[in-house]
A = this chain, B = another copy of it.
């Protein structure tokens, strides 16, 4: 009987802690999240729909989606190769490279934008040289893509690297003793085991690129129907006090991000269950 009461106490403190935790999360996350959906649908479904049918809104969503997808693909490939080289090859200066990889996360996004603006802008030698050849980077699509690639650079590497470290070399060595060449080993043994990391890096990169604001607004400006990405559009709508318009585009971005996050978690959980 006494045993029961001591268990009871534990349960009570667990309930108290859970309540505090839930309360904190509700105030901080759930409540604001609910509110933005409320705002988007304040004028009902049709109001939401009309906001999205505006040419600028439609453009910005398609535009941002396409560029984010492109960024995610580029970084998935470059990031996987970089991680592989960092982990498996006896590269000198590995420590420095490893530190460099994380730099973009340590740089404020506004500063990242400024860095690209200064390097590729029309005032800089590189920018004007490119401009003379008809290649505009700043205030154009290449600049946005560069900014997106820059700020999301570490995601893919850091998703793939731990898998490579964890899996060790024994599976690759096994493939070699079975006669596989280096390329066959990479393709048939290493790569399939890296998929979870690559996909997770891909979806992190994609949703971050979808959301990028600071660097893009500085690099690409705010030209509707030309270089206006979704975050910048939302900011513009807020400035002109069109809250329903801002909230509607926000809701679309949120749904995209959450779906991706959810799909990835599900997929990883299934994968993990399978692996153990």
Contacts and interface: CB of A to CB of B under 8 A. Distances in A.
A234 B107 contact: no
Nearest to A98: B265
A119 B214 contact: no
A25 B238 contact: no
Q: What size tier do the contact residues of chain A reach?
A: 35 or more
Contacts of A89: 14, 17-18
Interface string A81-94: 01001100111110
A168 interface: no
A247 interface: yes
B207 A106 contact: yes
Contacts of A114: 36, 234, 238, 243, 246-247, 250
A261 interface: yes
A48 interface: no
A235 interface: yes
- Most B C-beta atoms less than 10 A away, residue of A18, A22, A86, A261: A18
A153 B27 CA distance: 13
Contacts of A212: 108
A211 interface: yes
A33 interface: yes
Given A89-B14, A114-B250, A115-B36, A100 B210 contact: no
Contacts of A32: 112, 115-116, 118-119, 150
Contact of A235 (B14, B100, B218): B218
A209 B250 CA distance: 22
A199 to B, nearest CB: 16
Interface in A222-266: 230-232, 234-235, 238, 243, 246-247, 250, 253-254, 257-258, 260-261, 265
A9 to B, nearest CB: 11
B117 A238 contact: yes
Nearest to A18: B91
Nearest to A233: B110
A49 interface: no
Nearest to A232: B110
A109 B33 contact: no
Interface of A: 14, 17-18, 21-22, 24-25, 28-33, 35-36, 38-39, 78, 82, 85-86, 89-93, 97, 99-104, 106-119, 123-124, 149-150, 153, 207, 210-214, 217-218, 230-232, 234-235, 238, 243, 246-247, 250, 253-254, 257-258, 260-261, 265
Task: Pick the 8 closest A-B CB pairs, nearest first.
Answer: A108-B211, A32-B115, A213-B214, A110-B231, A111-B250, A106-B257, A35-B119, A110-B234
